[in-house]
Structure 1
Amino acid sequence: MKSIRALGRRTAGLFLALSLVSVATGCGGGSSDAADGGPRKVRFGYIADYSGSVALAVAQKQGLWKKSGVTPELKVFTNGPLQVQALGSGSLDFGYLGPGALWLPASGRASIVSVNMLGLADRVIARPGSGIEKPADLKGKKVAVAEGTSGDMILDLALSEAGLKPDDVTKVAMDASTVVTAFSSGKVDAAATWYPLIDTMRKNVPGLKEISRTEDYYPKLTFPNVFVTQPKLASGNSELVKKVTGVLKQAGDWIAAHPEESESVAADFLKLPAGQLKGSTRYVKLLPSAELTKLSKDGTVDGWFDELAAMFGRMGKLPKPGKAEDYYLGDLYAEAGKADRS
């Protein structure tokens, strides 16, 4: 299979590229068969929002892990790059990345086992009275953005669409929560961020304008969020990776069939008040596994990742991007879960 073969070309020396961090996971070993023949344990990272947790929440609630003979040890992270560092150090087996971190697989630091869903939540927004009505009007304005996120990506797209360069605006880098505060208080003219944060900002700034939206660039450019694994685990224990990917496929199919209910399942998993994640599915495109398998086989998904890699190259994050066929395990995805469903 081409994706598994390609791993051999990219594995050597990969982990020298990372600054390793120690992540407490409650499990000292890697993924392997239990000594007594029991369930195989995997250490799985996630982010505590809807997209970053819902598949794991559904897999847990539906008993999908037990059916597959896999026991997950779940660890919450605040972002994707920390998970990739943990994969590189061997203290994590699988993780979740939002679109802003997809330059990491493209640089060979992780292997993508599955697309989770496509994000549609990102926007460049402007304050009323700022004089900003379209992307070209951003020139000379202060724009708040959390660098390295999908907000950074939508800003790059908006500027490129208008023929502007990054230094044509005053980019004010800050974390995502501070973007909300800075925009709401009028310290910046515009912001590149996402829903549901924009819902909060709209309450504080009635009449804010959406200048650029994720959907403006779809389907030529997509913002997938994904599940990843260690390249050496994908090449050395592909059967275990298939088992885990099969669980994710089943969970994804349930989510696609029950979108509103999935919001409640995720909220319960995250111990949030009932209804707090209501409406989350308005800002994602859910892909059943049959559709994603078809899009993987015909090269569409590879095209998504290659287009994003080109964008990361423009942004200076990825000087020498790999091809998607080297880090998206589409053939493994297509095969995963067949035995469990038969």
Structure 2
Amino acid sequence: MPRSPFVFAIAVTTCAGGAAWAQETVNVGMCVSWPGYAMLEVAREKDLIPGYDLNLTIFEDPIGGHSALAAGQIDVYGCTADYIPVAIAADLNTVNVAYLNPSFGVDHIILAEGIEPADLKGKKVAAPQAYIGELLMGLWLDRVGIAPGDVEWVNLNADEAVGPMLSGDLAAAYMYEPWIGTVLAAAPGARSVVNTTDPEMLKTGIFMDSLYMNKTFIADHREAALAVLKAEWDGRQYWHDNVEETNGLIASYLKWSPEDVASVIGTNGKSVEGGNYTFDFDESARTCGVLDGEPPFGLANGSMVSSVALTNEWWVKLGLMTETVDPAAGIDCSLMSDLVAQGYRQAFAAN
């Protein structure tokens, strides 16, 4: 049952000697089944957050999860960062507290067989509305000199775009695997023209997984919020040090195969092309601007604010938003700053 945002659940744990103590329950949401959001499940299963009980829910509905977070039905939420400007404009009771994983080649724009970029004006292009696919399509079209209004937009996810791509109804589409392979195998002349390993796309910082929290949860239960944020990075450290075991754990939780998990987060404890690049704590703290040094991929220290501003700019260009918002209003880096002040550090490379 959904709970009031002002009620913090208590779980009672009994130790071997019979004594009991209260464990605070933190409700955590994942917008979709995705390995990049599963590190708090690793922390839960490996007892990396003593004193707290993590209650995880996979929504398979990003907007529904954002609504639950704003209402206080969950306290913490993993999802894509593209929603931050929308949450600011709607004055939701939520903030982004950390960047987690840049897309490192998951997301592609595929041109249909026989189509060149110069042919796209007046043609249909597909991307899921209000999602990073629409941003990637918009940015790439802009690069080749085509304005959003010069094409006919069709609101389709990757799986829905396969048939229209093969039938010739679409000139281009946002896609990810396995749908890219399906299209390229059936139409060898189709091709990927950009993906999120592109240096110019990476340095925008907008193709990013993010951790959100409810503002009331932070204000009323700051110690718990800090514990959950630390557990996110401790889960990542455990994964880095025990990749095969942890990929299997995540696969079991998500009901994926270990091979599919590895295709997203890799087997080397850091990244995989065509999947995610996993930020360590120091890299994420630098995007927040609370730790000296530069993040990877040409991102500036403190670049989270500019990334949100760029996302807002493109949502206006694409017609999803009508106003320019203050990007800092949707960001709270104070928790990351507190961990830095406590001496928490973490930097890991591929094994």
2:279 pairs with 1:287: yes
Tell me which residue corresponds to 1:10. none
Q: Distance in 2 between matches of 1:338 and 1:269?
A: 34
Which of 318, 321, 324 matches 2:321? Answer: 318
Q: Distance in 2 between matches of 1:28 and 1:314?
A: 37
**Unmatched runs of 5 consecutive residues or more in structure 1:** 1-23
Q: Distance in 2 between matches of 1:257 and 1:104?
A: 37
The CA deviation at 1:322 is: 3.5
Tell me which residue corresponds to 2:254. 270
Alpha-carbon RMSD across the aligned residues, in angstroms, is: 2.9
Amino acid at match of 2:307: W
The CA deviation at 1:337 is: 8.7
The CA deviation at 1:260 is: 6.2
Q: Distance in 2 between matches of 1:318 and 1:300?
A: 22
1:133-161 per-position Cα deviation (integer Å, ceiling 9, x unaligned): x3x44222221221111111111111222
Q: Distance in 2 between matches of 1:264 and 1:197?
A: 24
Tell me which residue corresponds to 1:124. 109
Amino acid at match of 2:46: Q
User: What pairs up with 1:3-42 in 2 under 5 angstroms?
Assistant: 32=8, 34=10, 38-42=22-26
> Matched residue pairs, number?
313
Q: Distance in 1 between matches of 2:287 and 2:149?
A: 37
Native 8 Å contact 2:78 2:209 kept in 1:
yes
1:240-297 per-position Cα deviation (integer Å, ceiling 9, x unaligned): 2111111112223344556666543321211223323332132222211022223322
Distance of aligned partners of 1:95 and 1:171 in 2 relative to their CA distance in 1, 3 Å threshold? same
Amino acid at match of 1:182: P
Native 8 Å contact 1:150 1:193 kept in 2:
no
Tell me which residue corresponds to 2:75. 93
Q: Distance in 2 between matches of 1:271 and 1:340?
A: 36
Secondary structure, aligned partner of 2:260? coil
Tell me which residue corresponds to 2:41. 57
The CA deviation at 1:210 is: 1.2
2:237 pairs with 1:253: yes
Stretch moving more, 257-266 or 103-112: 257-266
Q: Distance in 2 between matches of 1:294 and 1:271?
A: 34
Tell me which residue corresponds to 1:20. none
Which of 153, 164, 174 matches 1:171? Answer: 153
Amino acid at match of 1:287: F
User: What pairs up with 1:150-189 in 2 under 5 angstroms?
Assistant: 150-189=132-171
Q: Distance in 1 between matches of 2:45 and 2:338?
A: 24
Q: Which has the higher contact order (CA 8 A, sep 6+)?
A: 1
Tell me which residue corresponds to 2:99. 115
Tell me which residue corresponds to 2:307. 304
- TM-score, normalized by length of structure 1? 0.80
Native 8 Å contact 1:100 1:150 kept in 2:
yes
Native 8 Å contact 2:205 2:303 kept in 1:
no
Which of 13, 37, 52 matches 1:70? Answer: 52
Q: Distance in 1 between matches of 2:282 and 2:165?
A: 41
Q: Distance in 1 between matches of 2:158 and 2:69?
A: 25
Native 8 Å contact 1:144 1:173 kept in 2:
yes
Amino acid at match of 2:120: L
Distance of aligned partners of 1:306 and 1:263 in 2 relative to their CA distance in 1, 3 Å threshold? farther
Native 8 Å contact 2:97 2:211 kept in 1:
yes
Q: Distance in 2 between matches of 1:257 and 1:219?
A: 28
Tell me which residue corresponds to 2:131. 149
Native 8 Å contact 2:11 2:23 kept in 1:
no
Distance of aligned partners of 1:292 and 1:205 in 2 relative to their CA distance in 1, 3 Å threshold? same
Secondary structure, aligned partner of 1:278? helix
1:201-236 per-position Cα deviation (integer Å, ceiling 9, x unaligned): 334333421122222422134311111111222233
Native 8 Å contact 1:158 1:212 kept in 2:
yes
Instruction: Give the structure with the higher percent helix.
Output: 1
